[in-house]
Amino acid sequence: MAVAERVSTDPGAILKLLADPTRLRILALLEREELAVGELSRALGMAQSRVSNHLRLIREAGLLGERHAGTKTFLHLPLEAGPGLAGRLWAELRGELDGLPEHAADLVRLERVLAEREGQGSFFDRYAGEWDKRAGGFATGLGRERALTHLLPDGLVVADLGCGTGYLAQALLGQAARLICVDASEPMLAEAERRLGRNGDARATEVEFRQGDLDALPISDAEVDGALAGMVLHHLPAPDAALAEMRRILKPGGSAVVLELLPHRETWMRDALGDRHLGLEPSDVVAAFQRAGLEQVTLDPVSDRYQPERPEEHGGGAADLGLYLVRGRRPRVRTSSHARSNR
């Protein structure tokens, strides 16, 4: 049986609640679909702990409906656009949601969540076996190689984040002492394991495969010397959470490297390749590195092109898209002058 919380009549509480863009995104999804907390988190592209904090505020304002089914709790928005203050405000605001940059992406992710619920599998799960054909086309491959050269020397621990089928990790075999491949899709990880397991020099590198999201990496604090995210950030709602996680897992002085697409107009890539953004402005990624607390941030051009095949309904042939690198380091631990004098 649905349980609707009492709707608050405190104008200040309601106005404060509806002033936050993230809470508006949550309300929009819960008005559209009844969702469990984990499903809501995936639809928003946010860590569950962050979403739970917002849900607590929504619940305290009396705007959250709940339905309990066994051990699971499903959430919905019980408001109707009626005479109450909350209803009137929501009726006005819901028409403006298209102005929120992430609302359209929320709806795309929501479709995937609902498909998973119906047993159809996630977007990347469905296409893991053919991903290299769909999205693996590069002119020379030099962009991948250059990304790897910015990591620390041989014999260290390196993480390939959003590894996909392992095309970047493959170049690290025999170079790193330990390689941690992370992807949210289990079928993608299975493809990566098949690819890396076929290489004769794989025995020179200890390879681990870990399933997890880039905004909540299954890697301990300061576990790696270098972290690489190749062609990943444009699949995310925003780069900040992923870059904050990259900084967290790096040892002091460790390197973070991102290979990304320049902005483009190949709109078919949203549906065919699961892209949330049509490339990213380099200056935005540089700023996100700096917000994450990385230093010595550098932007480098790449003498390579990304050339995925267009679907026939979009003209066919290969696209020709520019690439760039952004790199930075986690600050080293600074020793006080007093400590140095006592050595």
For 233-270, what is each residue's pLDDT tens digit?
999 999 999 999 999 999 999 999 999 999 999 999 99
Strands of 184-265 (E only): list them.
Answer: 206-211, 224-230, 250-261
| Token pair of 5 as six digits | 């919380």
Domain locations in the chain? 2-119, 137-329
For 193-220, what is each residue's pLDDT tens digit?
998 875 545 457 899 999 999 999 999 9
pLDDT of residue 225: 95
Nearest residue to 171 via CA among 140, 149, 191:
149
pLDDT of residue 336: 46
Does domain 2-119 bear CATH number 1.10.10.10?
A: yes
Across the chain, what does the average pLDDT equal? 82
pLDDT of residue 174: 78
Highest mean pLDDT out of 6-20, 108-122, 197-211, 322-336:
322-336
Say if pTM beats, i.e. exceeds, 0.75. no
Is 158's pLDDT higher than 90?
yes
For 322-337, what is each residue's pLDDT tens digit?
999 999 999 997 644 4
Q: Contact, 185 vs 166, CB < 8 A?
A: no
Highest mean pLDDT out of 61-65, 199-203, 274-278:
274-278
pLDDT of residue 168: 87
Strands of 65-132 (E only): list them.
Answer: 65-69, 72-76
Q: Contact, 228 vs 147, CB < 8 A?
A: yes
Q: Contact, 208 vs 235, CB < 8 A?
A: no
Give the mean model confidence (pLDDT) for residues 315-321: 92
Q: Confidence band (pLDDT; 50, 70, 90) for 338? A: very low
pLDDT of residue 82: 44
| Token pair of 226 as six digits | 């270098």
| Token pair of 135 as six digits | 């999205």
Give the mean model confidence (pLDDT) for residues 65-79: 80
Q: Report the CATH number of the 137-329 domain.
A: 3.40.50.150
